[in-house]
Structure 1
Amino acid sequence: MSKNIAVILSGGKGMRFGLDIPKQFAKLAGKSIIEHSIEAFEQHNLIDEICIVTHPNWKHLIEEYVLKNKYKKVTKIISGGSERYESSISAINAYEGLNVNLIFHDAVRPFVSNKIIESVVESLKHYNCVDVAIAAVDTIIEVKDGIINNIPPRALIMQGQTPQAFKIETIKKAYDLALQDPQFKTTDDCGVVKKYLPNEKINVVLGSLDNIKITYQQDLNIADKIFQLKTIKNEKKLHDEYYEERLRNKVVVIFGGSYGIGANIAQIAKDYGANVEIFSRSTTNTDVASISDVNNALKTVNDKYGKIDYVVNTAAILEKQPLELTEYNKILDVININYLGAINVAKSSLQYLEKTSGQLLNFTSSSYTRGRAGYSLYSSSKAAIVNLTQALGEEFMARNSVRVNCINPQRTFTPMRVKNFGNEDINSLLDPKDVAIISINTLLSNFTGQVVDVTI
């Protein structure tokens, strides 16, 4: 029986991405994009081995990933060429003479699903070549010299993705013929088979809208949201067993949890067997703006339970007023509690969370995306929380395996909102219990550096 070899093509320089490193090494949810791609095949039971084709300058990074993540299926890390097809040929040569199927996949498609991989492997039992594609959404036009030359029927058009898979003897034969052709132009691997082995049938299996190729910086924003939806299980509530298994005997510290979202997080965690300690100005006289208060709170919990698994910071105040009319002491209150407080909690929590590979959960507000009159202090402080979370997500994971995420709820029915906005249509507001459940789901997830949107 043929072995299934996943070939991760990572030779690109990513010049269009705007970074000083290739795009496959950019961070997504606390890991590089290529790590997510490798893990999709590492975790699939139909994949026997993984071969990574990369530029020689970045081979050391791949080796570091393999060691750090203990990838068992990565058996080869080989050098590619300056063109994509040269990387494919490099992999073909590495397995020449062996009874294998080669499953080529772009390193910058981190969302390839188990279903796609399974469909590709199954198709290889009946075909020598397999492509992955989705139906075209837009009308495709053929243009020559700025003029539409043809408009193919959209029903016949599909958008190609990866992986593309082949029996090794088929793809080798196609490239042997291509390299003899002086007019050979770079194309994808299925394109080579189609041109040089025109009688070879190429089966197409259905891809996924999520299976995007990350090419530009803005694609990372889309990828972040896809990652959340695939990982968070953004539902009102999961099975009781799910929470009991993951929360029982965990130690959760909540700053600002005397009411609203924080209080609901505390109650849910307690209901499923977690040990929860709440610190706030109103209940324990704990001020997150005071580093000593935060230090003392965390030390007390650690001394009591011997560990801390999760730290949640919901502490914040809202002063809805034009800046020119805001008293200076209130300005300092907002800055100290909303921003400095988050810094204090993060800095003090690290020493405890790194022992449990735990998570710090911050809270922002939908107002962070655009400052509005009357919200200058609140909106800007919440924007700072987003940037702090994203930066710490990389810092803490790289050094300490501590995850940092941020919840971004839309307007929520809390005492702070009622105080500032009075009575509103409750149907237009989020229930704090729903926000709390998504917060718990985030704590139980594996990603980091994410801003998790919670909408009605």
Structure 2
Amino acid sequence: NVAVILAGGVGSRAGFSRPKQLVKLGGLPVVAHTIKRFQSHPLIDEICIVSTADHLEEIERLASSLKAHKVKKVLGGGTERRDSSLAAIAAYEHEALSGPLYLIFHDAVRPLVSDEVIDRVINALRHYNAVDVAIPCADTVVSIDQVTNEIISIPDRRSLRLGQTPQAFLHDTISTAYAAALRDPPRAHTDDCGVVLHYLPSEKICVVEGDTYNHKLTYPTDLLILEKFLQSNGGRRKVADTGDRQLTQLRGKSIAIFGGTSGIGEKMAELGERFGAKVSIGSRRNGVDISHAPSVQEFLKEVVATHGKLDAVVNSAAVLTYQPLEALSDEDIVSSVGTNYLGALHVARAAYPYLRESRGHLLFFASSSYTFGRAHYSVYTSSKAAIVNLTQALADEWDGADVKVNCVNPDRTATPMRTRAFGHEPQDQLLDAQTVALDALSVLVGETTGCIFDVERR
């Protein structure tokens, strides 16, 4: 399975000063995020990037800096999209002679394609030689007279879909379609499936479901949308349930949990031990104060001395004071920030040497309020927004050491802290702490990093 990243656009429609695939998104060129998505997918064997001749060296340097070892080819394309597709098809002509070879074409400016979408495409290739990705059409579509600008018809949108990428093909299929296309005058096909549909009408094209996070950068406003999607890691969500998970992988793991005597942290400790993990709990009840760096350092030192290693560190400790800012004392603010943010920094800094040795996992917790500040708990909500940013920064910073950093962002959850802040609420409107704990533990046995996992009620 070869991912072909089409990065040959010049960005003239977008109004950017340089090609849109090289515009910065979250501090990295857009195409860098795209490369990382395919690099990390286990079913992608190789990556080919097709770019304009003016930017080939820049793309090569970028792939090298990302340590994207799956990138085997960086090719020059042409002025049209089909030129880029043709360059990739030709580059793999010889390899295709050895057996079935699949080309998975993807727009470089769709940087948030999910593993699930890639999975659907590759699974469909087991039964089809051509696969497209599309999402339902939510808006009314009108067909107009291009001269008078008047409506001609309104198609039934139930049969309409909005096309995305990837588009995937057996090499022989897409090669045959383009060979026929080259014998004709150029036509206005906007994608590769259009070429197969026109020139190989008997070839069935499967359409798999895309997602709205697989957004395309076309205009400057799209960059704002992608920035927000990137903040929540584009569609990486967990829907809370109590189904089976591969938590037996926790057996023998040394896990330190800060805040493990109450709420979600307490449930994680109980469940972790049930699945065979060696759980160590640090909280103020047993003399560990994460707002005090030496306390954190001493606790982790003791954990390693006891168990010989440290595989994962979880910080679930938090303080939530429900009062307007002007009603808070200096001590209240210092306490909240010291636990919710400085405490996270102390935990991360103290844990890193041990996690680097074990290639382990650091897990933070955010709150559903991080996306939009809430009245009367401004210090808490702003600190949780900081935790999200910290997660993404450390994941990038520690990637070379193979230390995974993620964050769980649960919907409203029934915990003692929440009850103290908001009083009693209808339980059917809240997540159960044990359910969130199960999902959080499942993150610890995964290989992703830099993700904000939303845990939602069904």
TM over 0.5, shorter chain: yes
d(CA) in 2 for partners of 1:410, 1:259:
17
Equivalent pair of 2:363/2:405 in contact (CA under 8 Å):
yes
1:232-287 deviations in Å (ceiling 9; x for gaps):
57432424xx212x10110111112112111111011111111111111122x111
Equivalent in the alignment of 1:349: 351
Query: Cα offset for 1:136?
Result: 4.2
Query: Cα offset for 1:5?
Result: 5.5
Mapped pair 1:228 → 2:239: no
Out of 152, 163, 169, the residue aligned to residue 167 of structure 2 is 163
Equivalent pair of 2:413/2:432 in contact (CA under 8 Å):
yes
Query: Cα offset for 1:343?
Result: 0.9
Distance 1:385 1:101, change over 3 A: closer
Out of 101, 124, 149, the residue aligned to residue 119 of structure 1 is 124
Equivalent pair of 2:135/2:212 in contact (CA under 8 Å):
no
d(CA) in 2 for partners of 1:291, 1:188:
55
Mapped pair 1:393 → 2:395: yes
Equivalent pair of 2:49/2:73 in contact (CA under 8 Å):
yes
Report how many aligned residue pairs link the two structures. Answer: 427
1:82-103 deviations in Å (ceiling 9; x for gaps):
4322211212332457647663
d(CA) in 2 for partners of 1:169, 1:326:
68
Mapped pair 1:189 → 2:195: no
Out of 301, 305, 313, the residue aligned to residue 315 of structure 2 is 313
Out of 294, 298, 301, the residue aligned to residue 299 of structure 1 is 301
d(CA) in 1 for partners of 2:173, 2:327:
73
Give secondary structure in 2 for the equivalent of 1:299.
helix
Give 5+ residue unaligned stretches, structure 1.
none
d(CA) in 2 for partners of 1:101, 1:118:
14
**Mapping of 1:257-272 within 5 angstroms?**
257-272=260-275
Out of 152, 175, 182, the residue aligned to residue 176 of structure 1 is 182
d(CA) in 1 for partners of 2:10, 2:302:
50
d(CA) in 2 for partners of 1:115, 1:378:
39
d(CA) in 2 for partners of 1:169, 1:406:
44
Query: Cα offset for 1:434?
Result: 1.3
**Mapping of 1:51-90 within 5 angstroms?**
51-55=48-52, 56=56, 57-63=58-64, 68=67, 70-71=69-70, 75-90=72-87
Equivalent in the alignment of 1:377: 379
Mapped pair 1:276 → 2:269: no
Give secondary structure in 1 for the equivalent of 2:398.
helix
Out of 364, 367, 379, the residue aligned to residue 366 of structure 2 is 364
TM normalised by structure 2 equals: 0.81
d(CA) in 2 for partners of 1:297, 1:5:
47
Distance 1:134 1:405, change over 3 A: closer
Distance 1:297 1:12, change over 3 A: farther
d(CA) in 2 for partners of 1:5, 1:405:
28
d(CA) in 1 for partners of 2:349, 2:335:
20
Residue 270 of structure 2 aligns with an amino acid whose one-letter code is: Q
d(CA) in 1 for partners of 2:17, 2:38:
20
Out of 284, 289, 292, the residue aligned to residue 291 of structure 2 is 289
Residue 123 of structure 1 aligns with an amino acid whose one-letter code is: Y
Residue 162 of structure 2 aligns with an amino acid whose one-letter code is: Q
Distance 1:267 1:253, change over 3 A: same
Residue 160 of structure 1 aligns with an amino acid whose one-letter code is: G
d(CA) in 1 for partners of 2:102, 2:234:
27
1:190-235 deviations in Å (ceiling 9; x for gaps):
334556x4x7434221211338643234246557566523xx5743
Equivalent pair of 2:59/2:74 in contact (CA under 8 Å):
no
Distance 1:452 1:81, change over 3 A: same
1:267-317 deviations in Å (ceiling 9; x for gaps):
11111111111111122x111111111111111111222211111111121
Residue 398 of structure 2 aligns with an amino acid whose one-letter code is: F
Equivalent in the alignment of 2:150: 147
Give secondary structure in 2 for the equivalent of 1:123.
coil
Between 7-16 and 328-337, the greater mean CA deviation after superposition:
7-16
Give secondary structure in 2 for the equivalent of 1:311.
strand
Equivalent pair of 1:291/1:344 in contact (CA under 8 Å):
yes
Equivalent in the alignment of 2:219: none
d(CA) in 2 for partners of 1:164, 1:151:
31
d(CA) in 2 for partners of 1:427, 1:191:
48
Query: Cα offset for 1:133?
Result: 4.8
Mapped pair 1:250 → 2:249: no
Residue 79 of structure 1 aligns with an amino acid whose one-letter code is: G
Equivalent in the alignment of 1:11: 8
Give 5+ residue unaligned stretches, structure 2.
217-221
Distance 1:17 1:441, change over 3 A: farther
Distance 1:190 1:345, change over 3 A: same
Q: CA RMSD in A?
A: 3.3
Query: Cα offset for 1:413?
Result: 2.2
Equivalent pair of 2:89/2:175 in contact (CA under 8 Å):
no
TM normalised by structure 1 equals: 0.81
